[in-house]
């Protein structure tokens, strides 16, 4: 087999991350922008725009967000692109009558149910952390445990020295897990009386 020195992308995800995270995810922003820009010439009702935004524009970054924490600038740029499409009129800019964060509330709370990409990103990464805890024998869980937390569990793991961007992203998702995860004591054999809350 020919040896390839470096793959820039593998399965659509970046393999090498440098310091410029915005540049790393620029292709994701470009994909969303191209898709939304293609819809601007069409005569769409608000209901049609809502369906396109929810099912296509906000679904494009899902796979990437389930592995990496998007930089705040990237998720904000995607939100701005989608908001311009939502409020825009054909041939010109529209007035943004409400903040995008207000539109991200559920419909019963007065919003339209659009996703807040930053919060959704953290939820997807929290789900990955949950999988590390529930399936400790999986290949990725064993690999991360050997590298980052060989003597602890995922909830107690630290950042460590020279962590990868993937590991930093998982720890960001763990912050959400810590807010909602509860521990069933069961028979009490695993309780460390002086350490565990």
User: pLDDT tens for residues 102-141?
Assistant: 999 999 999 999 999 999 999 999 999 999 999 999 999 9
Are 19 and 110 found together in one domain? yes
Q: Is residue 189 part of a domain?
A: no
Are 41 and 89 found together in one domain? yes
Domain count, the chain: 2
Q: Is residue 60 part of a domain?
A: yes
Are 51 and 83 found together in one domain? yes
Q: Is residue 176 part of a domain?
A: yes
Nearest CA to 88 among 58, 34, 44, 47? 44
Are 125 and 168 found together in one domain? yes
User: pLDDT tens for residues 37-53?
Assistant: 888 778 888 899 999 99
pTM (predicted TM-score): 0.83
H or E element in which residue 9 lies: strand 9-10
Q: Is residue 97 part of a domain?
A: yes
Its domain, for residue 141, covers 121-180
Q: Which residues contact 138 (CB under 8 A, 6 or more apart)?
A: 131, 132
């Amino acid at each position: 087999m020919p040896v390839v020195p470096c793959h820039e992308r593998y399965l659509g995800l970046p393999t090498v991350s440098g310091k410029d995270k915005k540049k790393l995810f620029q292709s994701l922003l470009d994909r969303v922008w191209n898709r939304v820009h293609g819809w601007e010439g069409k005569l769409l009702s608000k209901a049609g725009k809502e369906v396109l935004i929810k099912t296509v524009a906000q679904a494009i970054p899902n796979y990437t967000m389930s592995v990496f924490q998007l930089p705040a600038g990237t998720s904000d740029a995607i939100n701005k692109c989608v908001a311009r499409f939502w409020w825009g009129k054909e041939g010109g800019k529209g007035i943004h009558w409400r903040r995008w964060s207000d539109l991200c509330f559920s419909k019963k709370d007065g919003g339209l149910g659009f996703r807040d990409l930053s919060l959704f990103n953290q939820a997807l990464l929290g789900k990955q952390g949950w999988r590390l805890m529930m399936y400790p024998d999986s290949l990725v869980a064993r690999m991360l445990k050997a590298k980052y937390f060989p003597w602890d569990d995922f909830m107690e793991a630290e950042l460590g020295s020279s962590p990868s961007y993937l590991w930093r992203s998982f720890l960001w998702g763990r912050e959400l897990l810590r807010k909602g995860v509860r521990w069933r004591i069961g028979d009490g054999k695993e309780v460390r009386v002086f350490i565990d809350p």
